[in-house]
Amino acid sequence: TLVLTITPNTNNTTTESACGSFTWSVNGTTYTQSGTFTSVNGCATETLVLTVIIPGTACNDGNSGTINDTLDQNCNCVGTPIGGGCTLNELFLEIQTDGISETTWEFVTSGTAVVVASGGSQYAGPGVLNESVCLADGCYDLRVFDDAGDGIAGGGYTLRNSAGDRIIDNRNNFTAGALSAVGNGPSAFCVPIGTQNLVWSSRDKLDWVEGQYLVAEANAAVSAVWIQGGANNVQSTNTGYQFWIFDPNGSFSFRRFRSHATSDNFGPASATRAARMKINYWLAPIGSIVPENVLMNVRVRTRVNGINGNWGPASRFKIDPVRAQCPLTQLNDTPGNAFLSCGQTREFGPGNFVWARPVTGANRYQFRFRLEEEGFEYVVTSNTFVLQLNWNSPALEAGRTYDVDVRVSRDFGATWCTEGASWGESCTITIVGESAIAGRTKELDITSAEMSLWPNPNNGDQLWLNLSGVEDGVKLVAVEIIDLNGKRVADRMVPVSGANVDTRLELEGQLGSGVYIVRVVAGSSIHTERLVIAR
């Protein structure tokens, strides 16, 4: 007896076209290259004829008014309008040259070898060369090459978007090797970039120590998810901020997510706690601990219910315990800040001030004014980070732009945090109005004048502050709260009404129990008062 089953051979061919990659449902394999692929299962043979279109590949959009046509991340053919006017993402690459090496650069579509823009050669210098590129939405790697293999002597580069926000900041830092590129991790950058940033006191700080908190600006969408007492619900565990610290030259790259449900040793729990990341305070995958004395960049993005936002602007970052003992400072350079001084105009005379970034524990500040092309240099010492532009001689002249840098002392001027030529980063001040106004230097006094704080002791929620007799011409005062270790834990800018300050400070429960110093900088005077937080 013969019981016979014959299964006929079957052959089926499928033709597909995909952008970037294609996953074949027959065998679950993802293909990133074109070709003909076969899968045999018993008597059934499936054949896939696949064409994979690679983003960044040159193409022709059929528009005679564009050039440099390439496929974007969605494989749409997009060109750059002739005569400028980039309608995509216009980026600017600033290269500090040395006039010695041949420096070239290229932008490569992430995950491919496709070069979408390139340039550079033997740059005359030293100087700053500005290049512009027009890129479609997507992710890219920037590679900067040095033909001699020794970097750019004293040089580097910065990549910015059209709004001036930094994407990569490698100024004065490409000093060795033949290639500088973000490595050891995901793509160097994506465009467009987001707006999420660090708070100003965390930006471009080059004297971090382990255990300090890197702080992001609070984002309303992230804060809205936080629920009091519900730190372990799903929304809280996948909502927060992700910090990315990387070396622009490629030696280090690490990303860390901070959710509402994790503390990082910071308390109490609140809608903004996740905006703080304690430096090097994590169980390390190998190579995740940020090394000391290496210039890094740091960027932040939000994550709301598991969905990431775009990375925000880059800031410079360095762990340097030695420098932290006596840190660098400079004129206030925070855009939109009431005390913004860097790049601003001022008159010379009574009632005209410039502000430096305050340094905790500093009791003397020196401001240096220079006209390098004329060999002019004048140094003024102040008791505070506020300097009134009013002294006898030499007066600053109207119509002149001065380079200004700042340094500090913690021993009343016996020694300075930076000696010799190594001051903080230089800014410019342009003098307008009268060329000179007679008058003697008004010495800035640190006082402990009476001011009213209530309730004191305080429960850490709201604090009322009253100060009277503010000097003429002062429109805003700076209020700082400092703990007994000298760390500034809160700061506010408060308007002056007439000659008085009468305001309510929302502390939002962010201060732990203990004794603090409230310091108010009002023009040329500093007023201090003790504050007790008792919960």
pLDDT (tens digit per residue) in 44-67: 999 999 999 888 787 877 666 667
Residue 231's pLDDT band (boundaries 50, 70, 90)? low
pLDDT at 435 over 50: no
Q: What percent of the chain is modeled with pLDDT above 70?
A: 89
pLDDT at 195 over 80: yes
Q: Chain-centre distance of CA 513, in angstroms?
A: 32
Lowest mean pLDDT of 15-29, 453-467, 485-499, name the range.
485-499
Mean pLDDT of 391-419: 87
- Residue 21 or residue 311, greater confidence: 311
Identify the helix (H) or strand (E) that includes residue 49: strand 44-53
Cα-Cα-Cα-Cα dihedral sign, residues 226, 228, 231, 234: negative
**Average of per-residue pLDDT values in the chain:** 84
Pairing assessment for the beta strands 115-122 and 127-135 based on DSSP bridges: unpaired
- Residue 145 or residue 56, greater confidence: 145
Could you give the C-alpha distances from 327 to 62, 364, 418, in angstroms and in order? 57, 13, 8
In whole angstroms, what is the distance from residue 114 CA to residue 58 CA? 9
The closest of 250, 194, 248, 249 to 222, measured between CA atoms, is 194
pLDDT at 486: 63
